[in-house]
Structures are given as structure tokens and as C-alpha cells.
């Protein structure tokens, strides 16, 4: 079983509902599921017919014989006759209508008549009817208040708990896991999860309720290999469909459970209304929670208005895939974007046609972030493992002439992610596909390495400091092994010494023991890969906790 986590995002304390609600089906939702199944069947029929026509055209162009889709060969007629003979013996049992219960079948919303046209879910209402029947002595379904109370308690989220979102791929099945991190209990566990339509590439927390102007909420925006962005309500457990969808499939005013529109052929040509390729990055505007920016492989950046779930503006500042975004910490309209065209743009979203400031780097951009403690600085990580620091006040004549305030070869391989501590100035964590996670101290003379660790998550794809001051030293790290680790960096001796004067360090009595809380993935393939790597390196122990401090 192979598993990996591609992205993570923290949910600030106090935003999650104390008691999340469980998703409950009603008759209307059963009917919508039936309608959805019917639309999927129609799509499949259309695809089959299209394939037949293309095959016929290719046969004609090749000069071969063509048989119409409706034609039947003599062999097929003979087979059909044989099947009819075999079915004669079963006709008396009327097996085709064995499950029919005329008065209790789900009525098709399109046809307005009873029948089994809805497919798999056609008789789900009749099943529910029999389950509730009081006449059957073998069925005794009675409410259990104690059980309900236990379930409610299990779902409870305390004000001191943090939520942590993780986008996971497991054996080609994609889902979003919602963890709860109990700092005081050294506990991290999966609270609930939701299925996703494709491999997830990015996840972002939203504090605004989509399609409800002015209402706060607790939502996750997920970008995948598909062009659509799904918005999930994190306060609902066991949900089957997203609360809303941003993209070609979005509804202007979606119902409680959105119905996906009938599949449309997607144009490969970019447009101003929605993305047409994978969504690589998402960034929520903390000054205006109703704005969400998205970056896509279609080379565009979209600005979404969450009050209407539509694209308010589209930007084409790059000539290649746009892979990372970051809003300015103090100027709500300025958005930083990085691209595979090896440029970084700081654009004012209020002036889509204006000329934008642009910087260049030596290889593909991986991540960009503003310095939350000095809004004139921003950082860029690249595929060749270099971390750059640029001053926005020093604009180069051309991107090729860009000069960073400093450049650091932080890792041997791709610097896939990094995070700036929101409470401690000058504290940066970097993660790489070389499997290491490092803490850096940014001094006036440049960066200095504090500590380096292999946290056992495989190739590191995501590093994120917690957003709340009380847990600001907690660093969430995830990667190719499908496991999440929360490292309390304040329990590391070198970190405590380096940042003792930068912020308030948690008090620790007695001997300091490093805290690492995680959820391990059962990944046999990753274990075999790790054993092979250790053998190549001479049998060294993986995930060692020896400090690599720099004088």
C-alpha cells in the first residue's frame, strides 16, 4: 500500500465547531443521488457513442469495412437466441422485478414516474421503509441515547485544540484528512475525512462561508489535478459532496448538497471564468476572507469572490505554470505569484492591466512567502534547493538582473516547502525532497543553520508552523511516506538557545526532552525503500535525532 501527503494547512484555534454535525440523508438527497447516477449513465452512453463514431471514421479513412453501431452479426443473433433459451426457465420466478415495491420506489425527478431508471440507488427508499417497519419482529431499531452521547463526545473539539488538514493519496484514492492536535495531551489523531475526485495538490483554510456574505465559517478549499476547486465544510462529518465548487461545474446558488452538472467537454484554452487545468496553489486573503486566489497549470491566476463563488478577475502575468501564491501581510490587494517560467510577480489585484514588478531566479520556483515581520521582504525557494531573500523596494531592470539580498543553498535537492514562524522573527523552517527538515536563524548578516532533522516522513512536501502564538513553535511536517509529524521545536536545545531573546519560550521544568507527535502510515513499500536507503548509506539509522548545529 503506497501513501503520501502532498499538502497540509493549519486551522486557527476557536474556528471549529465544538460539536461538528454528522451528515444526515433525507428523501430529497436520496433523489438527488439517484439523479446523479442517471446523469453519470448518460455521460457514459455519450462517451461510448462518441468512441464508436471515431472508430467508424478511422475505419473509413483506413479503407476498411465499417459496421454500423446498430448492426447485429449472425454470431450475435445466435448468442442472443441461446441466452433467451436459458432465461425461459427463470421467467416464472420474475427475477427482474424481484426487488420492486411499487409504492415505495424512488420517483425520478426527471421522468416523474415510478421505476428503476435511477440505477443503483433506485430502491434505497424502500429499503429504509422496511428497516423502520414496526411489524417485523426481527427488526428492533431503537434510539440509544447513551450511544449518541458517546459519539457526540468523541467528535468534540476543545477551544485549545488545533485542526490540521492533510491532503492524502493512498493507492490512487484521494481524500482530505482532518486531524485534531491536542497539544497538552501530546495527541494527534484523524477526526474525520472526505473523499476527493482527483489527486490533491494544495489545501487552504477559509474563514468565510461560501455564498453567505458576511458569515464566518470553517471551510477547506482543495485544489486537485482537476480544474475545479472544491470547498468543504469542516464542521460536517461524513459529508459526501462539497459545500460549493469553484469552476466550470459551480452552481450560482448551490443547495445544501450541490448537484454536479452534467459533464461538459472542457476546452484547453484558458479563459477568465474558470481554470481549465490542474490547480497548483491556493491562498486566502486574511484581510478580506471572501477573497480566494488560485494558481493553475493553465498559466493563469484567478481571484474568486466567495460570496458568489465566481471568478471576479483573471490574471495572465506568467508564461508557464503558476505554482505558488502569497498575499501581502499588510497590503490586502498585493499578491505574490511564482511560476515555472522562473519569475516572481508582485501584482496589485486592483489593476489587472498594469505593468507588474517582476524578479527572476535560476531554476523553477517551488514556493514564495512574505516575511510577516518585515513586509518589505519576501522569500523564494527553488527546485535546486536554494532559498532567496528579495527586498521589494529594490526592483531590478529586468528579471535576469535580479539581485537577492542573500541566497542560501539550504538543501541538496528541491526545496519543496518552507514556513516563517508567525510569532518569532527570523525563524524559518525548510523542507526538502532530500528528506531533511531544517531550522534557520535569519541574522542581519544572513541565515545561520540551527538544527537539521530527518523526521521520518520521507521526502518532505509540506512544512507549516502553527498559526497561534500559544503553539507557534509547533511545526507540522509531512511527505512521501504518508505520515504527519508535529515537532515542538521549542524542546530542541539549539532552538531554545538561538531564539531565547526573540520571543517567549515555553517553560520546561527538569530535563528537556524533544517532543514529536505524529500519526504513522502503514506503508510497507516506504519501509522497504527506507531499508534500501539505509543499506546504501552503510546501515545508518534513519530518522536520527543527532543535531547538525552550525557554529
The domain spans of the chain are: 1-20+160-195+425-551, 21-61+87-156
Q: At 407, is the secondary structure helix, strand, or coil? A: strand
Predicted local distance difference test score (pLDDT) of residue 440: 98
The span from the CA of 88 to the CA of 120, in Å, is 26
Quick one: 90 exposed, middle or buried, by C-beta within 10 A (0-12, 13-18, 19+)?
exposed
The span from the CA of 340 to the CA of 297, in Å, is 9
Predicted local distance difference test score (pLDDT) of residue 534: 55
Please give the DSSP secondary-structure letter assigned to residue 226. Answer: S
Which residues, in sequence order, are bridge partners of residue 428?
Answer: 420, 440
Phi, psi of 389 (to 5 degrees): -120, 120
Predicted local distance difference test score (pLDDT) of residue 82: 54
Predicted local distance difference test score (pLDDT) of residue 301: 97
The span from the CA of 113 to the CA of 115, in Å, is 6
The half-sphere exposure of 398 on its side-chain side, counting CA atoms within 13 A, is: 2
Q: Which three cell numbers stand for residue 107?
A: 420517483
- Cα 235–241–243 angle (5° rounding)? 55
The span from the CA of 234 to the CA of 232, in Å, is 6
Predicted local distance difference test score (pLDDT) of residue 540: 34
Q: At 284, is the secondary structure helix, strand, or coil? A: strand
> What CA–CA distances, in Å, run from 70 to 53, 83, 162, 428?
12, 19, 60, 66
Q: Which three cell numbers stand for residue 15?
A: 474556528
Which residues, 6 or more positions from 300, have their beta carbon under 8 angstroms from its beta carbon?
Answer: 270, 275, 314, 315, 316, 322
Q: Which of 461, 410, 413, 456 is nearest to 434 (CA)?
A: 413
**How far is residue 121 CA from its own chain's centroid?**
29
Q: Any idea of the CA torsion for 319, 320, 324, 329, to the nearest 10 degrees?
A: 0
pLDDT along the chain (551 residues), means of 10: 90 91 69 69 82 80 54 53 52 51 44 42 40 45 53 80 95 93 92 94 96 90 97 91 87 45 56 95 96 97 96 96 97 97 96 92 97 96 98 96 96 97 96 98 92 96 95 96 95 92 74 80 53 51 32 31
Which residues, in sequence order, are bridge partners of residue 448?
Answer: 441
Predicted local distance difference test score (pLDDT) of residue 56: 81
> What CA–CA distances, in Å, run from 266 to 146, 260, 271, 277, 315?
51, 15, 11, 9, 20
Note the pTM of the prediction, 2 decimals.
Answer: 0.74
Q: Which of 271, 260, 228, 267 is nearest to 246 (CA)?
A: 228
Predicted local distance difference test score (pLDDT) of residue 112: 44
Predicted local distance difference test score (pLDDT) of residue 107: 43
- Cα 427–12–173 angle (5° rounding)? 95
The span from the CA of 444 to the CA of 196, in Å, is 45
Amino acid at each position: 500500500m503506497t501513501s503520501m501527503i502532498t499538502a497540509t494547512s493549519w486551522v486557527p484555534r476557536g474556528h471549529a465547531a465544538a460539536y461538528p454535525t454528522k451528515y444526515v440523508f433525507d428523501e430529497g438527497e436520496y433523489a438527488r443521488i439517484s439523479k446523479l447516477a442517471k446523469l453519470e449513465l448518460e455521460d457514459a452512453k455519450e462517451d461510448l457513442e462518441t468512441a464508436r463514431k471515431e472508430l467508424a471514421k478511422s475505419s473509413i479513412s483506413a479503407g476498411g469495412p465499417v459496421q454500423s453501431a446498430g448492426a447485429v452479426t449472425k454470431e450475435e443473433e445466435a448468442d442472443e437466441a441461446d441466452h433467451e433459451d436459458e432465461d425461459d426457465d427463470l421467467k416464472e420466478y420474475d427475477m427482474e422485478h424481484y426487488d420492486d415495491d411499487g409504492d415505495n420506489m424512488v420517483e425520478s425527478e426527471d421522468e416523474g414516474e415510478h421505476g428503476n431508471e435511477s440505477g443503483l440507488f433506485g430502491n434505497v427508499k424502500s429499503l429504509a421503509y422496511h428497516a423502520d417497519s414496526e411489524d417485523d419482529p426481527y427488526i428492533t431499531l431503537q434510539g440509544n441515547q447513551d450511544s449518541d452521547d458517546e459519539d457526540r463526545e468523541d467528535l468534540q473539539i476543545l477551544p485549545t485544540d488545533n485542526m490540521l488538514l492533510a491532503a492524502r493519496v493512498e493507492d490512487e484514492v484521494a481524500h482530505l484528512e482532518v486531524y485534531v492536535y491536542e497539544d497538552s495531551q501530546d495527541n494527534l489523531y484523524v477526526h474525520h475525512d472526505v473523499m476527493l475526485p482527483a489527486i490533491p495538490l494544495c489545501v487552504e483554510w477559509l474563514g468565510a462561508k461560501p455564498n453567505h456574505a458576511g458569515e464566518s465559517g470553517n471551510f477547506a478549499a482543495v485544489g486537485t489535478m482537476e480544474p475545479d476547486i472544491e470547498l468543504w465544510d469542516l464542521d460536517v462529518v461524513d459529508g459526501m459532496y462539497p459545500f460549493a465548487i469553484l469552476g466550470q461545474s459551480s452552481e450560482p446558488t448551490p443547495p445544501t448538497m450541490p448537484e454536479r452538472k452534467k459533464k461538459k467537454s472542457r476546452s484547453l484554452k484558458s479563459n477568465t471564468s474558470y481554470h481549465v487545468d490542474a490547480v497548483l496553489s491556493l491562498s486566502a486573503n486574511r484581510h478580506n476572507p471572501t477573497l480566494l486566489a488560485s494558481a493553475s497549470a493553465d498559466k493563469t491566476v484567478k481571484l474568486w469572490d466567495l460570496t458568489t463563488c465566481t471568478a471576479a478577475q483573471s490574471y495572465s502575468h506568467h508564461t508557464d505554470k503558476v505554482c505558488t501564491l502569497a498575499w501581502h501581510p499588510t497590503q490586502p490587494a498585493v499578491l505574490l505569484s511564482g511560476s515555472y517560467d522562473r519569475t516572481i510577480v508582485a501584482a496589485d489585484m486592483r489593476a489587472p492591466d498594469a505593468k507588474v514588478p517582476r524578479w527572476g531566479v535560476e531554476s523553477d520556483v517551488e514556493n514564495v512567502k512574505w516575511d510577516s515581520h518585515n513586509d518589505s521582504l519576501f522569500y523564494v525557494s527553488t527546485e535546486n534547493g536554494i532559498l532567496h531573500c528579495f527586498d521589494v523596494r529594490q526592483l531590478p531592470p529586468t528579471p535576469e538582473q535580479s539581485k537577492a539580498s542573500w541566497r542560501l543553498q539550504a538543501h541538496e535537492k528541491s526545496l519543496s516547502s518552507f514556513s516563517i514562524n508567525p510569532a518569532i522573527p527570523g525563524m524559518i523552517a525548510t523542507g526538502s525532497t532530500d528528506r531533511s527538515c531544517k531550522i534557520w536563524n535569519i541574522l542581519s548578516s544572513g541565515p545561520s543553520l540551527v538544527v537539521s532533522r530527518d523526521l521520518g516522513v520521507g521526502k518532505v512536501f509540506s512544512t507549516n508552523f502553527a498559526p497561534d502564538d500559544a503553539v507557534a513553535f509547533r511545526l507540522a511536517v509531512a511527505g512521501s511516506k504518508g505520515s504527519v509529524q508535529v515537532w515542538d521545536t521549542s524542546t530542541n536545545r539549539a532552538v531554545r538557545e538561538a531564539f531565547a531573546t526573540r520571543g517567549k519560550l515555553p517553560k520546561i521544568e527538569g530535563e528537556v526532552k524533544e517532543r514529536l507527535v505524529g500519526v504513522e502510515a502503514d506503508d510497507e513499500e516506504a519501509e522497504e525503500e527506507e531499508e534500501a536507503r539505509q543499506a546504501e548509506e552503510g546501515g545508518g539509522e534513519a530518522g536520527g535525532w543527532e543535531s547538525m548545529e552550525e557554529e
